[in-house]
């Protein structure tokens, strides 16, 4: 019998026109990843972080960004807040991305950023 255990945090993309309150109401505690500046934390979410999909205006692999995308950096901040106890514990992440650029950046981070891939998985 083969065992498979994936301890990475599941991340789902909210579909365009999706019902965020309904998605937050079902399942385990969730954190939000948003491309827009954060609104007040909605009921059902324990943490929230945002990113700018236009990306940094710095040179590639500069010392502050190390070549990581804004979405990967935002997910890193979210994970660090979780493990340091700076936010409520969450078992999943809902990405609220409304533009194709933001959606592509999140998907690229989940596919190409080694740190993000080690911590999160797309569901």
pLDDT digits over 5-22, tens only?
A: 899 999 999 988 899 999
Q: Is residue 3 part of a domain?
A: no
φ/ψ of 94, rounded to 5, equals: -110, 120
Q: Is residue 89 part of a domain?
A: yes
Q: Find where tokens 């969450």 sit.
A: 90
pLDDT at 65 over 60: no
Q: Is residue 2 part of a domain?
A: no
Q: How far is CA 118 from CA 60, 62, 85, 87, 100, in A?
A: 22, 22, 20, 21, 24
Q: Is residue 1 part of a domain?
A: no
pLDDT at 59 over 80: no
CA 99 to chain centre: 15
Domain extent, residue 43, equals 9-122
Average pLDDT, the chain: 89
| Number of compact structural domains in the chain | 1
User: For the chain, what is the radius of gyration of the CA atoms?
Assistant: 14
């Amino acid at each position: 019998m083969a065992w498979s255990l994936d301890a990475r945090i599941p991340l789902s993309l909210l579909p365009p026109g999706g019902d965020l309150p309904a998605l937050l109401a079902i399942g385990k505690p969730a954190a939000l990843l948003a491309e827009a500046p954060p609104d007040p934390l909605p009921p059902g979410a324990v943490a929230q972080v945002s990113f700018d999909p236009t990306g940094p205006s710095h040179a590639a692999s500069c010392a502050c960004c190390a070549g990581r995308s804004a979405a990967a950096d935002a997910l890193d901040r979210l994970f660090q807040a979780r493990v340091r106890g700076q936010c409520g514990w969450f078992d999943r992440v809902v990405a609220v991305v409304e533009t194709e650029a933001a959606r592509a950046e999140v998907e690229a981070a989940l596919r190409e950023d080694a740190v993000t891939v080690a911590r999160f998985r797309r569901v």
